[in-house]
């Protein structure tokens, strides 16, 4: 989710709670060895033990098609001691695919194997190398070949987005196809795609056979979703004050954006997140309507603070405490 789910938003989503691990937006590898500052700029969590401030581990993700260059960059990245390194074979963006990156590589299982094998060999054994793929590029004909190639190359885990590149993000997601991949390889498999609610998550688990899920747009649209799913798994009541949990996150996110983003684009960044939140929170729709035409940071912030409730819960420990309290 390049351009939206960067380290600024990762901090907020992980602080709400329920997230076991995060993956960074992709770092494009072409034909050169990147300096360390590029990795720490995109994944500043590397300067904090590879974790967000709430303690969630973050795996940097690399995207490219040159095995040797990816291996060299993975080796340099490993010097920063990340909690893992992820490889992107799932991005459907045309601008990425045109330059032989992302999901277009799913037509070349042999190349997938070479990339994973080279990166695995370049990275210390204690750092896991995982991969993300879709069901295929234009179709799913080579789906199992790709999964087997990634396993043979040494991937420790595989996330599968349950659509092809051609299918993009158009519903539905074909979670049952992930079950065929699970049967074909011994790797831990994580299901991904079109998970917006706890009910979606339970259906994805049932159809794919996967217990672990990766949430992307669903977690951006409803940051309480991971916490609600965890509550379900623990047999607890779901959080009942969702918007009250999110109000401090919006204010905190605004503060982060002001500190790191140029004034011209600050309001747009928060509106972008609100656009997703509108899908699951009526309060977000009302807030978006109130601030939609505002651009000047001072005016925007005044309207934002006036519209948001002031809620005390802000971090992982506090929200998980609230989760337990709502079950009694």
Q: Which residues are annotated as a binding site for FMN?
A: 61, 132, 161, 192-194, 216-217
**Catalytic residue selected from 69, 91, 146, 313:** 91
Give the chain's mean pLDDT: 92
Please write the tens of the pLDDT for every residue from 33-76: 999 999 999 999 999 999 999 999 999 999 999 999 999 999 99
Q: Which residues are annotated as a binding site?
A: 61, 132, 161, 192-194, 216-217
Domains (ranges, CATH) in the chain? 7-232 (3.20.20.70), 242-307 (1.20.225)
Please write the tens of the pLDDT for every residue from 162-189: 999 999 999 999 999 999 999 999 999 9
| CA dist., res. 232 & res. 219, Å (int) | 16
* CB distance 167 to 143 below 8 Å: no
Q: Is the backbone peptide bond immediately before 172 cis, with ω within 30 degrees of 0?
A: yes
Alpha carbon of 257 to those of 4, 7, 162, 250: distances in Å? 11, 11, 32, 10
Which pLDDT value is given to residue 212?
98
Q: How far is CA 89 from the centre of its chain?
A: 14
DSSP percent split of the chain into helix, strand, coil, nearest 5: 50, 10, 35
Quick check: 312 pLDDT over 70? no
| CA dist., res. 42 & res. 58, Å (int) | 11
User: Could you count the other beta carbons within 10 Å of the beta carbon of residue 247?
Assistant: 21
Would you call 91 a catalytic residue per the annotation? Answer: yes
């Amino acid at each position: 989710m390049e351009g939206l789910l960067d380290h600024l938003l990762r901090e907020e989503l992980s602080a709400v709670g329920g997230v076991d691990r995060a993956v960074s937006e992709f770092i494009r590898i072409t034909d050169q060895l990147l300096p360390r500052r590029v990795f720490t700029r995109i994944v500043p969590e590397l300067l904090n033990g590879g974790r967000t401030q709430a303690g969630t581990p973050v795996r940097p993700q690399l995207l490219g098609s040159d095995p040797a260059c990816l291996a060299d960059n993975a080796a340099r990245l490993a010097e920063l001691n990340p909690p893992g390194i992820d490889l992107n074979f799932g991005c459907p963006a045309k601008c990425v695919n045109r330059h032989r990156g992302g999901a277009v590589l799913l037509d070349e299982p042999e190349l997938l194997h070479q990339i994973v094998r080279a990166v695995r060999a370049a990275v210390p054994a204690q750092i896991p190398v995982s991969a993300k793929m879709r069901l295929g590029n234009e179709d799913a004909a080579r789906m199992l070949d790709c999964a087997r190639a990634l396993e043979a190359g040494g991937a420790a885990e595989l996330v599968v987005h349950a659509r092809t590149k051609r299918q993009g993000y158009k519903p539905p997601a074909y979670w049952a196809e992930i079950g065929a991949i699970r049967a074909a390889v011994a790797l831990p498999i994580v299901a991904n795609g079109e998970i917006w609610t706890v009910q979606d998550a339970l259906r994805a688990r049932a159809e794919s056979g996967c217990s672990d899920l990766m949430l992307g747009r669903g977690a951006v649209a409803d940051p309480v979703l991971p916490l609600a799913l965890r509550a379900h798994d623990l047999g607890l009541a779901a959080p009942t004050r969702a918007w009250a949990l999110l109000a401090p996150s919006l204010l905190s996110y605004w503060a982060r954006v002001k500190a790191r983003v140029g004034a011209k684009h600050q309001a747009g960044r928060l509106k972008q997140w609100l656009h997703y939140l509108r899908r699951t929170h009526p309060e977000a729709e009302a807030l978006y309507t109130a601030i939609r035409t505002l651009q000047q940071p001072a005016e925007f912030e005044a309207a934002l603070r006036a519209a948001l409730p002031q809620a005390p819960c802000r971090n992982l420990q506090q929200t998980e405490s609230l989760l337990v309290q709502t079950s009694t």
